[in-house]
Amino acid sequence: MSRFKRIIKKNLFTIITLSITMVILLIFLFQGNSIQQLGSIFKSLSVSWMLLAFATLFVTWLMEGFVDWLLCRHFYPKWTYGRSFMIGMTGMLYSAVTPFSTGGQPMQIYYMAKMGMKAGHSAAVISVKTITYQITMVLFSLILIGSELPFFIKNVSNLTFLTIFGIASNIIFILAVILVSVNAGFVYRMLRTILNGLGKIHIVKEPGKKYESIITQLDAFHAGFKTMGRNWKLYLVVCLITVVQIAVSSSVTYCIYRAFHLSSATLWVMIAAQVFSNMVAAFVPLPGGSGGAEVSFSAFCHVFFQNLLTPALLVWRLLTYYGCIVFGCIFVSIGARKYVGAPPPEDYSNPDGETSEEEKPA
């Protein structure tokens, strides 16, 4: 088999995924617009605002790595930022090319193990990061809803229910993780009862398998927090950084908005629109939320871009999705060559000052 064929076979799923997402994007792109019209619009874009949009996106990648670095340092005080940046880009890359963003976390744990981190510690880092992100996203979304919900009810009322449902789903999951720490048996019995009931009315298929999948995830989060310990100061810092990261990431849309020489909308309302849009797109099972991302962006941002919505959608998707894939491949490839197989900066140091079972002398 030739080298080219081996590369194709190895990356077949990613190639199919990107092909599907590109077809969906092209369908949205050429509805009512010709190539000539789009070309003339793109030529008029503000270069400075587009550079700022990319710089803003890059800052969110740096902050992703910074959060990973803070959590990894809890176990390895000399863990380098470069390793953490590579792990953050790994999560973004594989989340973009797998359904429901399911590939990001396993691949992060895989690469952290390849860098010498113990499996329990890498799982703890990713679990804590995931749940703190969800808590932060919910709280931030509630603030946005409180300040901007009347505006979006008026302009995108058909998707308001989905947005609230998304927040409610996250809250239920967060509460379930907390309750597992208090009374796991009660949570598991309640979960089994609910899933069996939904199975009887044909809302949930194979409730038994769904139950096993959910409790495995809940147990993983519980074990992660147990391994990490009650370092509330660290969790608070991570949450605060995540708030800034979400706001900065969502402001990319505002930079694109200004690149089209538009200025009537405020930065805050466009951040709210993008956060709402992302929550709706998260329900789509295709990689990168394809289809859902385009529909939700159109629904929430049409009021800002009006007749420039289609070219704005193209620029936004190329920058935030395909840009993440391209640069993710580059940074992950460089990081893998530099860090994979290399020993961690230092041996594991128990944050509570106790010797772990693996470190006790025989």
Q: What is the 3-state secondary structure (H, E, C) of the chain?
A: CCHHHHHHHHCHHHHHHHHHHHHHHHHHHCCCCCHHHHHHHHHCCCHHHHHHHHHHHHHHHHHHHHHHHHHHHCCCCCCCHHHHHHHHHHHHHHHHCCHHHCCHHHHHHHHHHHCCCCHHHHHHHHHHHHHHHHHHHHHHHHHHHHHHHHHHHHHCHHHHHHHHHHHHHHHHHHHHHHHHHHHHHHHHHHHHHHHHHHHHCCCCCCHHHHHHHHHHHHHHHHHHHHHHCCCHHHHHHHHHHHHHHHHHHHCHHHHHHHHCCCCCCCHHHHHHHHHHHHHHHCCCCCHHHCCHHHHHHHHHHHHHHHHHHHHHHHHHHHHHHHHHHHHHHHHHHHHHHHHCCCCCCCCCCCCCCCCCCCCCCC
> Domain containing 188: what range?
38-339
Cβ contacts of 326 within 8 Å, gap of 6 or more: none
pLDDT score of 357: 40
pLDDT score of 117: 86
Distance CA 254, CA 267 (A): 6
pTM of the complete model: 0.77
What is the longest distance spanned by two Cα atoms in the chain? 74
Residue 348 lies in a domain: no
Distance CA 132, CA 275 (A): 17
306 dihedral zone (left: phi>0; alpha: psi -120 to 50; beta): left
Nearest alpha-carbon partner for 323 in 31, 53, 16: 53
pLDDT score of 76: 87
Handedness of CA 354, 356, 357, 360 (dihedral sign): negative
Give the chain's domain count. Answer: 1
pLDDT score of 353: 41
Residue 193 lies in a domain: yes
End-to-end Cα separation, the chain, in angstroms: 50
pLDDT by 10s per residue, the chain, length 362: 555 455 455 555 556 666 666 666 666 556 555 555 666 777 888 999 999 999 999 999 999 999 999 999 888 888 999 999 999 999 988 888 776 555 677 888 889 888 888 878 888 888 888 888 888 888 888 888 778 878 877 777 665 666 676 677 777 777 777 776 666 677 778 778 887 887 777 766 777 777 777 777 677 767 776 777 777 888 899 999 999 999 999 999 999 999 999 988 999 999 988 888 877 666 555 555 555 677 778 888 888 998 888 888 888 988 988 888 889 889 998 998 888 877 766 655 555 444 344 433 33
Residue 349 lies in a domain: no
Residue 274 lies in a domain: yes
pLDDT score of 46: 92
Residue 334 lies in a domain: yes
Residue 9 lies in a domain: no
Rounded to 5°, angle at Cα 71 from 85 and 334: 15
Dihedral through CA 327, CA 333, CA 339, CA 340, nearest 10?
140
pLDDT score of 71: 92
Tokens of 135: 């808590």
Handedness of CA 7, 9, 10, 15 (dihedral sign): positive
- What are the angstrom distances between the C-alpha of 355 and each of 38, 101, 350, 358, 361? 63, 36, 7, 8, 10
Residue 18 lies in a domain: no
Residue 173 lies in a domain: yes
Q: For residue 204, how many other CB atoms are within 10 A of its CB?
A: 16
Q: Provide the CA 152 distance to its chain's centre, in angstroms.
A: 23
